[in-house]
Amino acid sequence: MFAVAAGAILVAIALALIHAFRGPTLYDRILAVNMVGTQIVLMVAVLGFLAGRPEFLDIALLYVLISFVSTLAVLKFCCRRHEPPDCHCKVGDED
């Protein structure tokens, strides 16, 4: 049962990577990479359950925190670099 779940997660990771490479915009690609990070966390949790090692959940939690912070950093960098007209990243710059 969990082996089937692991296989389904691998297929979802492959589809998200395809979307990350073919995404029409930069933000679609960043979202796809973030989705891959979330799916990797799911895979680590499933593999930890299959192996009978509950400490894998601690690793998954650490990975999801790192993934979240890195996604925010990449979005902030890209928003400042490209500055699309609908970007609201200049918080506190009310001039």
Q: 60: Cβ–Cβ under 8 A, 6 or more apart, which residues? A: 41, 44, 45, 48
Q: What would you measure as the largest C-alpha separation in the chain, in angstroms?
A: 58
pTM of the model: 0.76
Distance between CA 89 and CA 56 in Å, rounded?
Answer: 36
Residue 82 has pLDDT above 70, yes or no: no
24 band by pLDDT with thresholds 50, 70 and 90: confident
Q: Where are the alpha helices (DSSP H) in the chain?
A: 2-22, 26-51, 56-82
- Centroid of chain to Cα 49: 21
Token digits for 61?
Answer: 């939690």
